[in-house]
Amino acid sequence: MVPETILPERLKTIRKARKIGRTKLAKLSGLTERQLTKLETAKGVDLPATSLMQLAHVLQVTPYVLTGEFALDESDLQPASTSSCTSGCCG
């Protein structure tokens, strides 16, 4: 798969709007907190397409919003809908 480049500020903006901390996002996306910090602060960091898809899924946006191909929508800046997880792992 081809690596994708996300917009650092967009990832941070959406994560904060969704009220998801880096620790929780790391746990749910399969990335480390260190990787997320790098993605939110560095420019031009490539991310495997599978990781982009997982981040988008957890943040409840399309991958194109994270890459900047689609504009941010008002709904992208709302708190995330509650999880249907019953195991307690997702808070």
pLDDT by residue (tens digit) across 21-65? Answer: 999 999 999 999 999 999 999 987 889 999 999 999 999 999 999
Residues 6+ apart with CB under 8 A from 16: none
Q: Is the pLDDT of residue 85 over 60?
A: no
Q: What is the value of pTM for the model shown?
A: 0.81
Strands (E), the chain: 4-5, 46-47
In this prediction, what percent of the chain has a pLDDT beyond 70? 88
pLDDT level of residue 80 (50, 70, 90 thresholds): confident
| CB-based contact 80:20 (threshold 8 Å) | yes
Burial label for 54, CB within 10 Å (0-12, 13-18, 19+), is: middle
CATH 1.10.260.40 for domain 4-75? yes
Distance (Å, rounded) from C-alpha 27 to C-alpha 82?
A: 16
* Average confidence score pLDDT of the chain: 87
